[in-house]
Structure 1
Amino acid sequence: MSTNIAYVDPDALIDYAAAIFEKSGLRAEDAKVVGEDLVIANLRGLDSHGVSRIPMYLERLRKGVVKAQPDITFEKKAGAVGLVDGGDGMGFLAAHRAMDEAITLADESGIGMVGVRRSTHYGMGALYVLQAMRRGYISFAWTNSSPAIPVHGGRTTFLGAAPFAAGIPGGSEAPYVLDMAMTVIARGKIRLAAQHGLPIAEGLALDGDGAPTTDAKKAFEGVCLPFGGVKGSALSMLMDLMCGALTGANYGGQVKSLYFDHSEPQNVGHMMIAIRPNLFMPGDDFAARMDDFVQRAKACPKAQNFDEILMPGEPEERTTSKRSISGVPITAHVLAELKHESDQLGIRAIKASDMPFAAA
């Protein structure tokens, strides 16, 4: 086992995360949801959105800008449209509620759309399309976020990384699971690089003076660059307008920084859309068409240096399968931060017995 990385049993990690959030004031069932969501991100290889974020979430709970036990409400606005008020609680809880309500609306109308306001950071966007996929639904999960990238032509932060997630279930072949931020690289990955003193590649970010940088710390304090230049900037703008301006949440640079601003709640906005896959044909026929699409896509001639063609989401599923056996890799830095939080709360920290795995 690497001296810098521990491989932790996923179930033990979920129990630990749930315990630390329950001790911090969340209801037991809500703490379990948040713990599971964070570890699912780790299992899928998105460590930037996993348990490394626990100290940041706890700080926001301690400062009172996130409510431990929010009153989350739902109001139907039209035939297939509703609005969730997240009550300034953990974004995971408001987003799951919104997707549940969108699915209920889609049961009745074929499609359901639910906006969310007064929420906060909701973690990995794939969580909510996977939630819908388990129920057999096509789905979209959108969110705005605190300023991280400039508008096209600007040099200061204005738009959020604003991840876009989509899921389309199939039959026996791999489903379509997209989860992408509007930055060239997720801001959380730059944060992890800064924590470990690692450089980042060129073309990912600008420092506070608007100059290109490979220094992760300067990049995290500066601006991330949108993927595809003007295209990424325009898509982030779309997420901000649909999730913020439309729902009544903050927008246009108003969303408070997740890391640096504890002056008031973030008031993040989300948008969840669920669609019944049997709207235009029997569900089995659609599943067969999805399988046919995947088979035809994978049969395309491969470019140089590619051994196979994968569907969006397939690499993450493979990582989940691997880490479920080999354990979730947690760096010594993150373990130390988690131990500090455990000590403050007086709960059991991650122990050697939680790390029965060797490096894979």
Structure 2
Amino acid sequence: MKISIKELEELTRRAVKKYGYTDEEVQVIADVMLYAQLRDNNQGVVKLIDKGIPKDPQAGEIVIEKETPISARINGKKNHAMLVVGRAVEIVKEKAKKSGFAIAGTFNTNTSSGAIGYYASRLAAEGLIGFAFGRSPQRVAVYGSYEPVFGTNPLAIAIPSDQAPIVLDMSTAATSYFGLVEAQTAGRSIPADFAYDNEGNPTTDPQKAIAGAIRSFDRSYKGSGLALIGEILAGPLVGAAFCGIGDSKGNWGHLIFAIDPELLTERDTLVSHVSEIIHKVKSTKKLPGVDEILMPGEKESRLARQRRESGLIEIEDNLLAELRAVAGEA
């Protein structure tokens, strides 16, 4: 069903508010979710249905526990990850502009940060090269196993250009957990090579996949290896749980860092050369049936822009009905 973006924004804010967040927190969380929803990223409003995102009653003031001129280790104090990682981005941005490089780790959050590309994009918008890594409770099997041991462990890298930044935003898993929730909500099956059931059999049933394990994004040792790296960078490095060790459900971790191109070159020079690369890549000879070579994030950004211009967005019927139900209970 197509609805106005204005209605979707209002439904999203009302639904988030229902879970106990302040008006300021509602705006931050809604912005991240709508960024995803406008791009058909499964980290959007689907997070508000089912068990939703209730505010932890133990949530306290976010604390920087360790800090240097180029780094910060942030205790999320049980706050929603979108709030904590958003704070980390602001800290990294300010430090990187002063020192040329900055890094921040967050821990002690118990919810997803949403579309990880949102945070890297915010850094690229400031002329920085942004990196973001996240980990979550174990849902993904290592190559050669069907036992979940890693999180879906997304990563994002955003690089400024003279137009929209290049934004690589990817899960190291074949699908995210909320991709399974979306499929289950819509009554859709999933591809046969996405996941295993709890006995190690390939399954197209999202409910059985939730009870089993997701495979790596490329179904090989390479994707599995990248998931392992993400588990380390957004786990033990930042003080979060990892591989089911520690409070896996209550201590999610994230790593954010940024490089100012001025450390190695002129920012304008980098932007110019990145733009040359984009032009060169997009003008390469196309295979039969290929109309356009796309940059990472280009299709999604174009879709979001088109939807903003039209003022309309299509939402799966069951998802919209559940979102309205949640918002109506606010």
What TM-score does the superposition give when structure 1 sets the normalisation length?
0.85
Classify the secondary structure of the residue corresponding to 2:291: coil
> Which residue matches 2:39?
44
Name the structure 2 match of 1:213: 203
Residue correspondence of structure 1 range 28-43 to structure 2 within 5 A = 28-43=23-38
Native 8 Å contact 2:6 2:311 kept in 1: no
Superposed counterparts of 1:65-214, under 5 Å: 66-67=56-57, 70-119=60-109, 120-172=111-163, 174-214=164-204
Give the SS at the match of 2:281.
helix
RMSD, aligned α-carbons: 1.9
Matches of 2:296 and 2:30, distance apart in 1: 25
Q: Is the 8 A contact 2:70 2:95 kept in 1?
A: yes
Q: Does 1:13 align with 2:8?
A: yes
The 1:287–1:252 alpha-carbon spacing in structure 2 relative to 1, beyond 3 Å, is: same
Aligned-partner Cα distance in 2 for 1:153–1:175: 36
Is contact 1:25–1:68 with CA below 8 Å preserved after alignment?
no
What is the percentage of aligned positions where both structures have the same residue? Answer: 28
User: For residues 306 and 136 of structure 1, do their structure 2 counterparts lie closer, same or farther at Cα, with a shift above 3 Å needed?
Assistant: same
1:317 alignment partner in structure 2: 301
1:179-223 deviation per Cα after TM superposition (whole angstroms, max 9, x unaligned): 100112333222211222212222111111101112222122211
Rounded to whole Å, the distance in 2 between the matches of 1:202 and 1:191 is 16
1:42-76: CA deviation from partner (whole Å, max 9, x where unpaired): 10111x21112113564543xxxx35864112244
Aligned length, in residue pairs: 327
Identify unmatched segments of 5+ residues in structure 2. none
**1:254 and 1:124 mapped to 2: Cα distance?**
25
SS in 2 for 1:165: strand
Measured after TM superposition, the shift of residue 107 of structure 1 is 1.5
Indicate whether 1:342 and 2:327 are aligned.
yes
**Counterparts of 1:315 and 1:234, CA distance in 2:** 27
- The residue matched to 2:142 in structure 1 has which SS? coil
* Alpha-carbon distance between aligned partners in 1 of 2:8 and 2:235, rounded to the nearest angstrom: 33
Q: Distance between the aligned counterparts of 2:25 and 2:77, measured in 1?
A: 14
Q: Is the 8 A contact 1:163 1:181 kept in 2?
A: yes
Which one is further off, 228-237 or 188-197?
188-197
Structure 1, unpaired ranges of 5+: 258-264, 346-360
Tell me the secondary structure at the aligned position of residue 273 of structure 1: strand
Structure 2 SS opposite 1:112 = strand
